[in-house]
Amino acid sequence: MKLGAFSVSLAVKDIHVSKAFYENLGFIVFAGDIERNYLIMKNGSSVIGLFQGMFENNIMTFNPGWDQHAKAIEDFDDIRVIQKQLKNKGIKLSSEADEKTTGPANFFVEDPDGNSILFDQHV
C-alpha cells in the first residue's frame, strides 16, 4: 500500500506564534496562507501543517500521489484503492471517499487510541 507523502497537521492556537516557534526549529514556509490561518512548513523532508481554528486535534496526514515536496508522482495507489484495502481489513472509516469518482478525494480513520489519520489525495 503506497500512502504517499506524510505530514502532521497541527491544531494551533495562534498561527503567528507557532510559525515563529517552528522557524526557530529550522522550518520554512512551503505553502499556505497565514491570512487564511494555515501554513505548510518544511525542514528537509519533514513536513508540518499549522492550522488555526480548523480542527480540534492534531492529525496525521498521508497524501497519495504526492512526494514530500508536494509534487505529483505517477506510480501511486489511488485513495479509493487504499480505502477499499483498509475496509477489507476490517478498519472502520470515520468518513469515506466516493468510490464512484476519480481524482482528488479524502477519508479519515482513527487508530485504536483515537488519533485521527487523514488520507488526502490532491491529484
- CATH no., domain 5-121: 3.10.180.10
Q: Mind listing the pLDDT tens digit for each residue in 102-113? A: 999 999 999 998
Give me the mean pLDDT over the 86-110 stretch.
97
Residue 22 neighbours by CB distance under 10 Å: 20
Q: What is the DSSP string of 28-83?
A: EEEEEEGGGTEEEEEETTEEEEEEESS-SS-EEEEETTB-TTS-B-SS---HHHHH
Cross-strand partners of 41: 29, 48
Write down the pLDDT at residue 93.
Answer: 97
What pLDDT sits at residue 118? 97
Within 13 Å, how many C-alpha atoms sit on residue 18's CB side? 19
Task: Kindly state the average pLDDT of the residues 70-81.
Answer: 95
pLDDT tens for 17-74 read: 999 999 999 999 999 999 999 999 999 999 999 999 999 999 999 999 999 999 999 9
Name the band, by pLDDT with cuts 50, 70 and 90, for residue 85.
very high
Q: Domain ranges for the chain, please list them.
A: 5-121
